């Protein structure tokens, strides 16, 4: 019986991951790996399966020893973790099979994978397994058509610990009828949405219910209303199912803005227990929307179409969360204030603001490539302040404006954030009403603990005054929404923390560049020479390292990966400069010894011994994690010194003498 280990690599922290909010509810990850759980359901019975979600548990040696095959599914943002998984599987000689959106776009750049299963795998998975068992599997398997999702089996939720997650996830549809220029969804899943049957949906909900899940369930569809008719058909049975069980699940999803125009559908969603939807608003700037082919978000002849759409959805009792983009062609310097004003007026507490990124395979990617504006591949990380193309707006203006938008919407006091929450509550119908599935009486122990943690952590912090005002206002005007208010307060905490880390990462990278430039300038103007100069340079470097390491430590440990490359490069530059100084000094010394000293060899040997001690001492000031690359620099110095010694016919060997190791 083959053992298949299904591994879900780790995500870096992001807005979506709700990293800081999870602490409040004692959960380890926001969402289960739905794709892998669906693949798990495709395996025949003679396989033994184990799922390791690395966002919840670490991948142990025992798991790898157990596995005959390792299957992974990844998005671009998980690629670093995937690389680590591949290395570990190879060390253990476990065959590795990779699928998901990231390999589908980048398989030719991923090394070490035995087999790629690309696109949607339902239609060819069993054939692949057969080939695998017979030792005849090809390297790449691709779907030739889009699978019929009505035949997709129930995800194997039983293979994970549901309690580790903040929310459950299921899928109703794949694909979206729109074709926004920056979006890869239509390229991956097509423009004709495929939907599951109502029976499938009820079966999936029932399975989660039987397994004991209660609470939020995310319908991960890219556009829940991509097929309006099917969504409308599915909702009443779900509403009935929910009602019969007292609304055990709080449903939420993603939809296009035209949901606001579909009153019956909107009402059916509320009836079924949907209390939140994510909208891709992107920008209130119609010109930029048209340029990015998001025509559906503009409506000629309608004033404030987007604002009214948000209000309409909120007035039905559904929170709107939304995605916004800065850096679109057509964005002007007003874009920053316009975004802030829009988000505040719309009462969208959790607005995800990102810089535009050109994902491989999208129309945007191809356009920028043909215009010669593409610079590198996207990191897929919505928390890193990076631009992988030449922007229309001046790059620095864009980055500065972006940081200003973020730090205004999620300022450290959360004043603006709580104002948005109150605006949302004002719009809810019947202010004293109880949202479906979120009644006071249904608060579970875990939620009660979250309330206490929120009060303790937020009340006695910079957020305290705004938080207190918000809570008092809610208790006075919307008491039944108190649990919802706490949930939002916790999300605000997460967004503020994530934003401040995002900005800290960018500030730190900028500060490294400035320090580096300043150091070079200082070095050029340093008048001393000889050992005096060396001492001054050495001490300046130590000071720089201590100061930057202090700044580095201020970044939250989970976000430090965002500056590791830059900090490592900084270490190399600084240390490289120092070694150059040493080399110059060495050459001067050698010339002096060769020409002047009677016992030159002994003098040179002593000098080299002291040089080794100096370098090793200096090396100790480098943070351990950033010593990579430094050994290489020292080896280069050794080679240069050896060459110089050889040319001067000095019979000494330096190899391996200078390094710490």
Task: Report the nearest approach of ligand SF4 to the CB of residue 287 (Å).
Answer: 17
User: Quick check: 342 and 306 in contact, CB under 8 A?
Assistant: yes
Task: Report the nearest approach of ligand SF4 to the CB of residue 298 (Å).
Answer: 13
Binding part of the chain for ligand SF4, among 19-27, 109-117, 176-184, 387-395 by CB under 6 A, reads: 176-184
Site membership for ligand SF4, residue 186 (CB under 6 A): yes
Rg of the chain taking only CA atoms, in angstroms: 29
Rule CB under 6 A: choose which of 183, 326, 368, 645 binds ligand SF4: 183
Beta strands in 337-383 (DSSP E): 351-355
Task: Report the nearest approach of ligand SF4 to the CB of residue 257 (Å).
Answer: 8
- Comparing CB distances to ligand SF4, the nearer of 191 and 433 is 191
Task: Report the nearest approach of ligand SF4 to the CB of residue 256 (Å).
Answer: 5
Residue 417: which of 497, 481, 326, 307 has the closest Cα? 497
Which of the residues 291 through 350 are near ligand SF4 (CB under 6 A)? none
- Comparing CB distances to ligand SF4, the nearer of 280 and 492 is 280
3-class DSSP assignment, residue 51 = strand
Q: Roughly what angle, to the nearest 10 degrees, separates helices 445-459 and 482-524?
A: 50
- Comparing CB distances to ligand SF4, the nearer of 121 and 185 is 185
| C-alpha pair distances (Å), 594 with each of 413, 531, 583, 589 | 68, 18, 16, 9
Rule CB under 6 A: choose which of 10, 53, 120, 222 binds ligand SF4: 222
Task: Report the nearest approach of ligand SF4 to the CB of residue 198 (Å).
Answer: 23
Binding part of the chain for ligand SF4, among 100-108, 174-182, 197-205, 284-292 by CB under 6 A, reads: 174-182
Cα distance between residue 268 and residue 127, in whole Å: 41
Rule CB under 6 A: choose which of 280, 380, 492, 538 binds ligand SF4: 280
DSSP 587: H
- Comparing CB distances to ligand SF4, the nearer of 223 and 458 is 223
User: Quick check: 218 and 168 in contact, CB under 8 A?
Assistant: yes
- Comparing CB distances to ligand SF4, the nearer of 196 and 509 is 196
Mark 413-436 as b/e (b = at least 16 C-beta within 10 Å). Answer: bbebbbbbbbbbbebbeeeeebbb
Cα distance between residue 598 and residue 218, in whole Å: 82
Task: Report the nearest approach of ligand SF4 to the CB of residue 260 (Å).
Answer: 14
3-class DSSP assignment, residue 249 = strand
DSSP 92: T
Site membership for ligand SF4, residue 277 (CB under 6 A): no
- Comparing CB distances to ligand SF4, the nearer of 258 and 434 is 258
Rule CB under 6 A: choose which of 200, 223, 321, 572 binds ligand SF4: 223
Rule CB under 6 A: choose which of 15, 20, 172, 178 binds ligand SF4: 178
Binding part of the chain for ligand SF4, among 140-148, 183-191, 245-253, 408-416 by CB under 6 A, reads: 183-191
Contacts for 571-574: CB closer than 8 Å, 24+ residues apart: 571/545, 571/622, 571/623, 571/626, 571/627, 571/629, 571/630, 572/629, 572/630, 572/633, 573/516, 574/516, 574/519, 574/541, 574/544, 574/545
Beta bridge partners of 250: 216
Cα distance between residue 597 and residue 609, in whole Å: 18
Site membership for ligand SF4, residue 176 (CB under 6 A): yes
Q: How many residues bind ligand SF4 (CB under 6 A)?
A: 11
Q: How many CB atoms lie within 10 A of CB 465?
A: 14
Rounded to the nearest 5°, which phi and psi values hold at 452?
-60, -45
- Comparing CB distances to ligand SF4, the nearer of 253 and 256 is 256
- Beta-carbon contacts of 210 under 8 Å, excluding residues fewer than 6 positions away, are none
Site membership for ligand SF4, residue 492 (CB under 6 A): no
Give the rounded distance of the alpha carbon of 123 from its chain centre.
30
Which of the residues 228 through 267 are near ligand SF4 (CB under 6 A)? 256
- Beta-carbon contacts of 202 under 8 Å, excluding residues fewer than 6 positions away, are 237, 238, 241
Task: Report the nearest approach of ligand SF4 to the CB of residue 225 (Å).
Answer: 10
Task: Report the nearest approach of ligand SF4 to the CB of residue 323 (Å).
Answer: 8
Task: Report the nearest approach of ligand SF4 to the CB of residue 223 (Å).
Answer: 5
Site membership for ligand SF4, residue 188 (CB under 6 A): no
Task: Report the nearest approach of ligand SF4 to the CB of residue 229 (Å).
Answer: 17
Cα distance between residue 67 and residue 231, in whole Å: 40
- Comparing CB distances to ligand SF4, the nearer of 180 and 340 is 180
Rule CB under 6 A: choose which of 31, 36, 185, 320 binds ligand SF4: 185
- Comparing CB distances to ligand SF4, the nearer of 175 and 401 is 175
Site membership for ligand SF4, residue 18 (CB under 6 A): no
Task: Report the nearest approach of ligand SF4 to the CB of residue 201 (Å).
Answer: 20
- Comparing CB distances to ligand SF4, the nearer of 178 and 410 is 178
Task: Report the nearest approach of ligand SF4 to the CB of residue 629 (Å).
Answer: 40
Binding part of the chain for ligand SF4, among 178-186, 194-202, 262-270, 343-351 by CB under 6 A, reads: 178-186
Cα distance between residue 4 and residue 335, in whole Å: 50
| C-alpha pair distances (Å), 99 with each of 121, 140, 534 | 8, 10, 54
Rule CB under 6 A: choose which of 68, 80, 133, 179 binds ligand SF4: 179
* Class of residue 637 by CB neighbours under 10 A (exposed 0-12, middle 13-18, buried 19+): buried
Site membership for ligand SF4, residue 180 (CB under 6 A): yes
Which of the residues 418 through 447 are near ligand SF4 (CB under 6 A)? none
User: Quick check: 326 and 382 in contact, CB under 8 A?
Assistant: no
Binding part of the chain for ligand SF4, among 69-77, 118-126, 158-166, 171-179 by CB under 6 A, reads: 171-179
- Comparing CB distances to ligand SF4, the nearer of 177 and 237 is 177
Can you give the binding site for ligand SF4, defined by CB under 6 A? 176, 178-180, 183, 185-186, 222-223, 256, 280
């Amino acid at each position: 019986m083959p053992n298949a280990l299904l591994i879900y690599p780790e995500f870096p922290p992001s807005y979506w991951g709700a990293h800081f909010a999870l602490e409040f509810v004692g959960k380890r990850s926001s969402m289960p790996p739905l794709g892998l759980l669906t693949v798990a359901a495709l395996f025949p019975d003679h396989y033994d399966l184990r799922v390791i979600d690395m966002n919840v548990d670490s991948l142990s040696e025992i798991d790898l020893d157990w596995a005959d095959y390792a299957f992974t599914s990844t998005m671009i943002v998980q690629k670093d973790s995937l690389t680590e998984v591949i290395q570990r599987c190879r060390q253990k000689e476990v065959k590795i099979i990779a699928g998901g959106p990231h390999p589908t776009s980048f398989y030719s750049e991923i090394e070490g994978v035995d087999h790629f299963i690309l696109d949607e795998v339902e239609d060819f998975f069993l054939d692949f397994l057969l080939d695998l068992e017979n030792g005849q599997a090809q390297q790449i398997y691709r779907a030739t058509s889009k699978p019929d999702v009505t035949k997709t089996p129930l995800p194997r939720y039983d293979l994970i610990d549901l309690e580790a997650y903040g929310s459950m996830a299921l899928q109703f549809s794949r694909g979206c009828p729109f074709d926004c220029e920056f979006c890869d969804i239509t390229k991956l899943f097509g423009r004709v949405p495929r939907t599951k049957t109502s029976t499938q949906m009820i079966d999936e909900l029932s399975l989660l219910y039987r397994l004991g899940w209660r609470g939020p369930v995310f319908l991960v569809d890219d556009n829940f209303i991509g097929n309006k008719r099917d969504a409308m058909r599915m909702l009443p049975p779900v509403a009935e199912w929910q009602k019969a069980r007292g609304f055990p699940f709080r449903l939420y999803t993603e939809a296009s803005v035209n949901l606001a125009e579909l009153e019956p559908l909107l009402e059916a969603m509320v009836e079924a227990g949907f209390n939140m939807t994510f909208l891709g608003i992107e920008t209130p700037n119609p010109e930029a929307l048209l340029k990015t082919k998001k025509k559906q978000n503009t409506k000629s002849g309608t004033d404030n179409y987007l604002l009214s759409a948000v209000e309409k959805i909120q007035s039905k009792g559904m929170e709107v969360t939304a995605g916004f983009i800065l850096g679109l062609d057509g964005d002007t310097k007003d874009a920053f204030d316009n975004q802030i004003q829009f988000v505040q007026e719309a009462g969208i507490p959790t607005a995800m603001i990102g810089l535009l990124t050109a994902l491989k395979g999208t129309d945007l990617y191809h356009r920028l490539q043909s215009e010669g504006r593409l610079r590198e591949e996207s990191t897929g990380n919505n928390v890193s302040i990076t631009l992988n193309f030449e922007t229309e707006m001046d790059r620095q203006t864009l980055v500065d404006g972006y940081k200003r938008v973020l730090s205004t919407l999620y300022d450290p006091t959360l004043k603006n954030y709580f104002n948005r929450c109150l605006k949302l509550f004002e719009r809810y119908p019947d202010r004293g009403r109880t949202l479906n599935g979120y009644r006071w009486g249904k608060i579970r122990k875990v939620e009660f603990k979250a309330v206490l943690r929120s009060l303790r952590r937020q009340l006695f912090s910079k957020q305290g005054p705004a938080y207190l005002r918000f809570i008092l206002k809610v208790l006075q005007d919307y008491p039944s929404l108190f649990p919802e208010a706490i949930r939002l307060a916790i999300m605000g905490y997460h967004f503020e923390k994530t934003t401040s880390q995002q900005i800290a990462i960018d500030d730190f990278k900028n500060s490294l560049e400035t320090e580096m430039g300043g150091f070079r300038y200082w070095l050029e103007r340093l008048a001393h020479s000889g050992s005096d100069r060396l001492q001054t340079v050495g001490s300046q470097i130590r000071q720089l390292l201590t100061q930057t390491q202090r700044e580095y430590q201020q970044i939250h440990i989970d976000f430090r990966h965002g500056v590791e490359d830059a900090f490592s490069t900084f270490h190399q530059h600084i240390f490289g400069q120092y070694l150059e100084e040493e080399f110059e000094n060495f050459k001067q010394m050698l010339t002096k010894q060769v020409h002047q000293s009677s016992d030159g060899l002994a003098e040179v040997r002593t000098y080299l011994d002291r040089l080794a001690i100096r370098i090793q001492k200096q090396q100790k000031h480098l943070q351990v994690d950033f010593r990579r690359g430094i050994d290489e620099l020292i080896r280069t110095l050794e080679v240069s010194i050896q060459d110089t010694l050889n040319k001067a016919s000095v019979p000494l060997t330096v190899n391996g003498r200078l390094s710490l190791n």
